[in-house]
Amino acid sequence: MTAAETPATKKQWRRWLRQIARPPSAAVSEQVLRHLGEFLDSRPGPVLTYRPIPGELDLDRLLSRPDSGRFRVTRTNSNGPLTVHSAAAPTELHHYGFAQPTTIAEEVDPATIDIVLVPAVAFGRDGSRLGHGAGYYDRLLPNVGTGAALVGVAYEAIVARTVPVDHHDVPMTHLVTETGMATPRVEVIDNFGR
């Protein structure tokens, strides 16, 4: 794709990616999980992960690690922000088909999280993130622990130099793909105020 063909708005990017993006292969998923595992082994704090919707990398295997007690997951509430819960909490089926903590599951303070594994439609190598458009993570991420690693989880096919962002979009501090773990350029992160 040339610069002239690159979508300009978030809506155009999402539409374009729906047309071209293919789900990652099992081999790609395995490579991402391996790189993530190495990173998680280097940082022992609480980890917030996600339950995937179609097109996102499935990280559920992380929940069977020996240190699975450190994992937290989100609950997508129909009338409010994401809430954080133990990954061991009782679950129910979300209308998008993934398991999420029930409404009675005890909440965990997001400020206790040390690593956040973040899904998206696309990521930029500069730390930018294009979410699905509801703003759930943009409202949650400012509340996680100071110095938390914000790890964009992707496969190379959905990573660009940059993606469109708004002032409220929270940049990633790390990006993991099948090729490894990367840290976005510091000067770009500083431009976002992180």
- pLDDT tens for each residue of 118-163: 998 889 999 999 887 677 898 999 999 889 999 999 999 888 888 8
Q: Beta strand 83-86 with 91-93: parallel, antiparallel or unpaired?
A: unpaired
- pLDDT for 20 equals 66
Looking at every residue in the chain, the average pLDDT score rounds to: 86
For residue 7, name the pLDDT band (cuts at 50, 70, 90). Answer: low
Q: Give the pLDDT confidence score for residue 191 in this predicted structure.
A: 35
Q: Quickly state the pLDDT bin for 3 (edges 50, 70, 90).
A: very low
At residue 160, the 3 state secondary structure works out as strand
The alpha carbon dihedral of 87, 119, 78, 140 has a sign of positive
Report the length, in residues, of the chain. 194
Q: Does the pLDDT value for residue 68 go beyond 80?
A: yes
The whole-angstrom separation of Cα 10 and Cα 70 is 34
CA separation for the pair 28, 136 (Å, rounded):
26
Q: What is the pLDDT of residues 74-110, one digit of tens each?
A: 999 877 789 999 999 999 998 888 899 999 999 999 9
| Domains delineated in the chain | 24-191 (3.40.50.10420)
